[in-house]
Structure 1
Amino acid sequence: MKKNVFVLLLACMSFGNAMAQEADPVVMTIGGKDVPRSEFEYFFNKNNDSKDGNAAKAVENYADLFINYKLKVLAAQDAHLDTLASFKKEFANYRDIQLRDYLKDPEFEDSLALSVYNVMKQQVGDADMIHVAHIMMLLPQKATESVRLQKKARIDSVYAALKDGADFGELAKKCSEDYTTASKGGDLPWIAPKQTLPEFEKEAYALKPGEYSKPFLTPVGYHIVYMIERKKLEPFEEKKEEIMQLLKSRGLKEMAAEHKIKRMIEASHGQKTREEILSQVQAEACKKDPNLKYLIEEYHDGLLLYEVSNRLVWQRAAEDKSGLEKYFKKNKSKYQWDSERFKGFVILSKSETLLDEAEKFLKKQKDESGIEAWNKAVPKDSLKKVRVRYGIFKVGDDAVVDSHIFDKPVSKQNKLYPYSACVGAKLRKPKTYTDVKAQVVSDFQDLKEKEWLEELRKKYSFKVNKDVLSTVNKH
């Protein structure tokens, strides 16, 4: 009897697995790891930018890119880059942010909002909350009497315009020196007692809706205040949503999540660590939302992809001077200019004597390291009187080069550094890879990445289930 029950149980499990595979079949296997169709669809639908209208071809093309992506991630894992402390920290921070919506603690959030409300209630007491706008003339702390009188005259002229019927909001936009509120017509957030400067509070609370004050002075300047509205503090239930929005802007989700995690650790009687709790939450959340699973996986793999590519390809290629020079010589025809260039030093000086010294010195230098040599060779007070830059310039890139090398008229005289010169040579085409370094490095990195991918495709096995691939986005 027990044997029959066991056999039946195995059959049910097998049937369940078969149903799961049928619902989300394996579209490819890479390095021994199955990729379900849902995962491929997530990445394809998010990253596909094909516009030729051939959906089947787009899927096929993307499958090749996806395989490359996964092979690079496998290479990163084999290099144990996922064990680096820097990787673990960055990934954990991102994952924790994504899980905050699954770590809500309504009881904690409500209690925090109520605490904020009670502080507001205690602060306001029986007084009103006021909503005002203001026009301000900013007065620096160490302002002279002359400046103070100027500011006073300006605020008085604004007051006179108000008395003649000018619109308060328009005057605030044109005249107020509180630039955070001027564009909004001087509008300020709701104010409770003791939330602003005593002088400001006294004048503002004396007003009725629709009234404006006479000009008055506070430690920050002259003001005119306009009373928009005043009211008693609303009950908590009416104010709750506004408080919640305020708390969210100040990290409520993060605080609530941390409080929830702490409670879950306590509920386990210390048997589970913070990381174990978060792994549990992640597993449960990903069951409910497959897109979350793939979003977290995307960030995880993206970090690995960048790290392994940078270490094994990009950085190595960028630092391989011999390889870059060989690549440049082999592909010179790709790197032609449509016009002449000047390669060398541009010198600006306050004195003709220093300009001559700089020219003589820099004529002996071969490249931009000459600037550092010059800076070390001359006294510090002379460095302030001479400016040197190095580069490759075409017509229009630099006014000094245009004038001295390309015989263009000087558009504007440099009064601070009236003496100038250029040390270097005209080039009709690049002579070394450094003349077109950015382009050569980029192309060389592309080449090395292709070679690396060829190695990865030989190293790791991969197989595409074309029957399943043909059903992508069609089931």
Structure 2
Amino acid sequence: MCRLVLLCLYLMCVGVTSYAEEREVVFRIDGEATSVEEFAHYYARIHAVNGISTEHFLPHFLYYKLKVADAKKQGWDTLPDFRLQCSVLQNEMGRERESRVLKSVPMKWVKFRQISILLPQHVSAIQERQARQRMDSVYAALKEGADFEALARNYSSEASASSPYADGEWIPEVCLVKEFSEQLDALKKNDFSAPFFSPLGIHVVSLLDCKQEDYPASKAEVANIPKEESEPDNIEWKQITEGLLAAYWDKRHVVAPSGNVGNKELEDYFEAHKKEYAWELPHFKGGVVYCLNKKAASKLKKKLKKLPLNEWKEKIDAFSKEDASLKAEVEVGLFQIGSNPYVDKLAFKCGHFTPRTDLPYTFVLGKRLKKGPEDFTDVRAEVQRDYRLSMEKSRLEELQQRFRIEINQDILKTVNCSGKK
């Protein structure tokens, strides 16, 4: 009887321990577990940049971990050059951590205001253009002397949703995404930027102030730092070694960045998925030319008709320098109806516009596209993005066939926006 009770107690303990361990696992690949802590570590970094949900982040992270698993399966983690790279990186990490603890760190802080429009990660071309049009209107108003503070208040709810940066507060520049820091570095105090895109959305920023300060560690702080803090963190070190393996895998599978995909591949993909790029509203492909008078417009039309669209701006600048009577400016590209008053009136015969005072005569040159883009170059960015995602999806499916994958969906739902359970 006593043995039976002990056996029951033992089985209960094993079951409880097993359950507790399972509560810490997000998924397993061939039995190897990825913990909630590790998933949260990666997710928190991604979420801080673009607000991606755990459900959308999971396929990307799973693809990454499958590449690592496949690299290990092929023994690439045992290669001499891989081990050497790991050893060098480990030493560098140790030295970097020690220097951060023992030395003063010069740090630039900035204080700024922003006008931001939230854009989801997989934004459609129409949403992106609409956001750009809205921000172009804001920028035009600012250049005409509109008050930045007043305009910012109109977008304050969108900014709080789309940006983790609080307006008017001191922020270390190292905590900003690259696109923000680059814009702020180029500004003088109280100046504002042109509209720019970031992983968060589209923005205009105004620099309020900046300062440079050193932050030395006190002797007491240095003395109280545990030895293990000068050593690489387990998850951080795992991220580096697995990142190297994933890079090895990419190199051996010729995974090219989207910008390096050949035109032939993009063209073939576009032709196979042409219906997906159909437009809800008609577009105009060509240019809007602002010049001095009708006579100049007639001469410019003859010159531009013989040239490809991507050369118009350069040639217009050259014509303006050679002959003052041909002074002109041009906007080229795709214009959706409703996005440009000159195109609306001159190409689509609707609405009205106010002529510019410096270049009062305006004409358009190009063609109306009612159903969709002519070729992939009209929507190159969208096609590049979709082509890359389709390649990732097919490779992910291939890898999924070679490994046993168990995903703990219940645990996944407990990882919130801060990256913690």
Say which structure, 1 or 2, has more relative contact order (CA 8 Å, 6+ apart): 2
Q: TM-score per shorter chain, which class? A: 0.3 to 0.5
Max radius of gyration: which structure?
Answer: 1
